[in-house]
Amino acid sequence: MRRLFLLSVFTARVFADPGSAVCSPCHAEIVERFSRSRMARTAAAESPGNWSLGSGAIGKSYITFLDNFLVQSPRSYFTATRSYGLSPGFPNAQTFRPVEEPCLQCHASGVQLVKGTQNQYPNPPFTQPGVTCQRCHGPAAHHSVNPAKLPPERRDNVCEQCHLTGAAKVTRAGRNPYDYQPGDRLGDFVSIFVSGAQTNATGHAEQLAESACKQGAGDRLWCVTCHDPHGGRKTNTCQGCHTPDRCHRGPQCESCHMPKAASKDAHVAFTNHRIGRPAPPPRPLRLFWNAPIPPRDLALAQPSIPRLERVEPKDAAVLTQLGQLYDQAGRGADAVRVYREALRLNPAEPTAAANLAIYEAQRGETAAAEASWQDVFARYPGLPGPGLNLAASQLRRGDRPAAIATLRRLLRFHPGHAQAREILNRLTR
Ligand code: HEC
Ligand code: HEC
Ligand code: HEC
Ligand code: HEC
Ligand code: HEC
Ligand code: HEC
Ligand code: HEC
């Protein structure tokens, strides 16, 4: 699933988020209270060029610059065991993962992605660590949006921008998720598909939607019924709608109806928000919001050749995904055709360029192939395939120093890459 939205290159609308300070002359109490909340403290500068993500209630992950790329460290801190361990989702401790995943979209504000890339940032990469007032109230320059006064779908969207991932998240054609502002409809920027599995932190919105309580209460019940968005939780929230004689089992309603699960993964919801419902078996993907499913987005969320072939018009993301399926099916001529078309629409598309180069090399167009791998590897050192192909091509034409430099760079990002290490050892013995 990951590659689907990772490899669609978008440009960020950079607006320097001035942070909460600009609101303090008039809203000092809220600014002070919010500054102590987990959301405000969910990222912090540890040392120059080095930040932690997470308030530490559950744990912390670390990001730092490697060359000019922002990477996530393979080691995270886990508060429950007070120890360091492998970051969730990492295959081993010998890999730095370029921050291509939108960690910063949820953990920082005023993110300044370099135009036309999805993994290069200036230093510092964001103007404000953590969640700021503007993320829920809109840019300071405009009239502040009060989420509670928005129509229910747009109101809920404010929290869903960071508390809903679902089973697949697909950027809408021609859209950029960084452009969403409170008051907009989130579904105009991303299609979020759910399957009932609710396996991540962002399961809160999904679980709540599934609960018998939410289904009974409708739009009256939302996150802010129980949570103070400026920090802390409200008490006796159930009693606002249920009289105590509704259930005679005790006053601590949540302890039974919203049990906590023990989990080490920072991105698994702890408190079950499916009030009054047992866990369901997984179901086919459907859109989280009650809206028609865009066929393009479903085809990207659940890729298959027939589904992708039916999509019109085909953009670079659709064509690249289709090319990979043609590759797997051994349909080389079709793959070449759609990769070329993808690159015509988006010359910066890395997967199409790197895979097309494999076919070029097979046809003997080695110079063109090497130039493509060189270009993709320069922009995406986190993709080991283009790096290995580049080194092999450099070796074939006898340029040992270039191959050694390529492998050394690959190993900076993947210190544990056995194949690259082995070839480098042979070359430098
Ligand atoms: C110069 C003083 C001032 C500054 C600075 C200021 N506000 Fe306000 N804000 C007010 C006043 C006064 C009200 C109440 C106005 C009203 O009731 O219509 C208010 C109301 C609000 C409301 C409620 C609006 C509604 O319709 O319910 C929000 C939300 C808000 N401000 C957010 C912010 C945020 C976020 C910032 C910083 C980016 C900010 N304000 C900066 C003075 C200020
Ligand atoms: C869609 C929004 C979103 C994205 C993307 C995201 N996170 Fe999170 N993250 C959250 C939320 C929400 C929580 C709180 C979960 C909870 O309390 O159950 C969280 C929790 C965490 C925590 C634990 C914080 C604590 O409470 O101590 C860490 C560490 C973390 N995230 C790191 C990351 C990293 C690294 C990435 C990128 C690989 C990432 N996150 C991507 C929303 C997001
Ligand atoms: C996580 C989202 C979120 C963040 C971040 C946030 N707010 Fe709010 N804010 C809300 C919501 C939701 C409401 C409506 C609350 C309600 O009606 O119960 C609100 C209401 C307000 C109001 C009007 C009602 C009141 O409580 O006085 C002001 C003023 C306000 N916020 C200012 C701020 C300021 C200043 C900051 C930054 C320090 C901030 N908010 C950060 C979500 C947020
Ligand atoms: C810009 C991203 C973002 C938005 C918007 C956002 N959150 Fe969060 N929220 C986070 C992250 C990240 C965390 C994890 C904080 C940490 O590191 O512990 C979190 C944590 C929380 C927590 C658990 C911590 C606590 O203080 O109890 C609650 C509750 C919460 N958010 C509610 C909301 C609500 C309600 C809204 C909408 C009004 C909202 N959030 C909007 C990113 C966001
Ligand atoms: C009916 C009440 C209720 C509603 C509605 C609700 N929550 Fe919660 N939430 C809770 C309770 C209770 C906890 C556990 C709090 C604690 O331990 O202090 C919790 C905990 C959390 C946490 C902390 C991590 C965890 O899993 O324990 C986050 C994040 C969170 N809620 C987000 C949300 C978001 C986002 C929404 C809206 C989609 C939402 N909640 C709606 C009651 C509610
Ligand atoms: C905004 C109002 C509202 C709030 C707040 C609320 N509920 Fe509900 N809840 C309802 C409504 C309405 C229904 C459906 C009618 C009914 O069963 O009472 C319902 C249904 C339920 C059900 C399912 C009942 C069944 O028939 O299966 C449970 C369990 C439940 N709520 C528990 C809670 C708990 C626990 C809390 C606090 C954490 C809570 N509710 C907070 C309005 C609310
Ligand atoms: C000690 C655990 C416990 C506590 C505390 C508790 N409940 Fe329950 N509640 C249950 C169980 C178990 C059921 C029956 C569930 C079932 O039959 O599926 C139930 C049933 C319910 C129902 C559905 C009743 C119906 O008509 O079928 C509601 C609504 C409800 N509880 C609300 C609350 C509220 C509100 C509170 C707090 C005032 C609360 N509960 C406290 C365990 C608890």
Task: For residue 83, list its beta bridge partners.
Answer: 78
Q: Tokens in use for 381?
A: 């050192």
Quick one: which ligand is closest to 42's CA?
4
- 135 and 98 both lie in a single domain: yes
CB-facing half-sphere around the CA of 214: CA atoms within 13 A: 20
CATH number at residue 302: 1.25.40.10
Specify the higher pLDDT residue, 71 or 93: 71
Q: Do both 236 and 334 map to the same domain?
A: no
Cis peptide before 25 (omega within 30 of 0): no
Average pLDDT, the chain: 87
d(CA 45, CA 63): 10
pLDDT at 355 over 90: yes
Percent of the chain's residues with pLDDT above 90: 60
Q: Which residues line ligand 3 at a C-beta cut-off of 6 Å?
A: 20, 23, 27, 30-31, 34, 39, 131, 133, 135-137, 146-148, 224, 229-230
Looking at the fold, whether 139 and 206 belong to one and the same domain comes out as no
Residue type at position 331: R
**Could you tell me which residues come within 8 angstroms of residue 208 by beta carbon, excluding any fewer than 6 positions away?**
214, 221, 223, 273, 274, 275
Backbone φ, ψ for residue 348 (5° rounding) = -90, 0
CA 323 – CA 412 distance, rounded (Å): 30
Q: For residues 111 and 43, what is the distance between their CA atoms, to the nearest angstrom?
A: 12
Poorest-pLDDT segment among 152-166, 246-260, 409-423? 246-260
pLDDT of residue 327: 94
**What per-residue confidence (pLDDT) applies to 298?**
95
Residues 326 and 374 in one domain: yes
Give the nearest ligand 1 atom to 25 CA: 5
Domains identified in the chain, total number: 3
Question: What tokens appear for 417 in the block?
Answer: 């890459």
Residues 125 and 250 in one domain: no
Percentage of the chain beyond pLDDT 70 is 89
Find out whether the beta carbon of 216 lies less than 6 Å from any atom of ligand 6: yes
Residue 346: pLDDT over 90: yes
Mean pLDDT to the nearest integer, 351-371: 95
Give the pLDDT of residue 10: 34
Same domain assignment for residues 235 and 261: yes
Q: Which helix (H) or strand (E) holds 45?
A: strand 43-47
Confidence tier at 264 by pLDDT (50, 70, 90): very low
Lowest-pLDDT range of 26-35, 104-113, 324-333, 365-374: 104-113
Give the tens place of pLDDT for each residue, 170-199: 999 988 888 899 999 999 999 999 887 655
Q: Is the model's pLDDT at 55 over the cut of 60?
A: yes
Contact predicate 98/350, CB 8 Å:
no
What pLDDT does 366 receive?
Answer: 95
List the residue whose alpha carbon is closest to atom 15 of ligand 6.
216
Q: Is the pLDDT of residue 118 over 60?
A: yes
pLDDT for the residue 119: 75
Ligand 1 centroid to residue 257 C-alpha, Å = 36
The domain boundary residue, chosen from 93, 118, 144: 144
Question: Both 352 and 405 in a single domain?
Answer: yes
Please work out whether the CB of residue 208 comes within 6 Å of at least one atom of ligand 6. Answer: no
Residue 280 pLDDT > 80: no
pLDDT at 275: 65
Max mean pLDDT range (191-205, 312-326, 410-424): 312-326
The answer to whether residues 360 and 372 touch, using CB atoms and an 8 Å cutoff, is yes
Domain shared by 189 and 212, yes or no:
yes
Range of lowest pLDDT (3-12, 32-41, 362-371): 3-12
Q: Considering 118, 144, 170, which residue would you say is the last residue of a domain?
A: 144
- Boundary (domain end) residue, out of 110, 144, 178: 144
CA of 361 to the centre of ligand 4 (A): 49
pLDDT category of residue 98 using cuts at 50, 70 and 90 = confident
Residue 341 pLDDT > 90, yes or no?
yes
Per-residue pLDDT, averaged over 251-268, amounts to 72
Residue 4 has pLDDT above 70, yes or no: no
- Reply yes or no on whether the pLDDT at 64 is more than 70: yes
φ/ψ (deg, to 5) at 87: -60, 145
Characterize the bridge pairing of strands 50-53 and 43-47. antiparallel
10 and 129 in a single domain? The answer is yes
Instruction: Identify the pLDDT of residue 344.
Output: 97
**Which residue from 211, 215, 253 has its CB within 8 A of the most atoms of ligand 7, so it is best to mutate?**
253
Q: How confident is the model at residue 255 (pLDDT cuts 50, 70, 90)?
A: confident
Q: What is the pLDDT of residue 259?
A: 81
152 lies in the same domain as 139: no
The residue among 150 and 383 whose pLDDT is bigger is: 150
For the ranges 260-264, 363-367, 408-412, which has the lowest average pLDDT?
260-264
Residues 89, 187 within the same domain: no
pLDDT at 272: 67
The pLDDT tens digits of the residues spanning 389-401 come to 999 999 999 999 9
pLDDT of residue 3: 31
CA distances from 286 to 197, 208, 292, 303, 318 (A): 12, 16, 10, 14, 19
Q: What is the pLDDT of residue 5?
A: 29
Which pLDDT value is given to residue 158?
Answer: 97
285 with 310, same domain? Answer: no
Residues in the chain: 429
Report, as an integer, the average pLDDT of 30-51.
93
**Residue range of the domain that includes 205:** 148-292
pLDDT band at 267 (very low <50, low <70, confident <90, very high): low
* C-alpha dihedral, 77 to 80 to 85 to 91, nearest 10°: -110
As for ligand 5, residues whose beta carbon falls within 6 Å of it are 159, 163, 204-205, 208, 221, 223, 225-227, 233, 237, 254, 258, 269-271, 273
- pLDDT above 70 (res 309): yes
Q: Is the pLDDT of residue 363 over 90?
A: yes
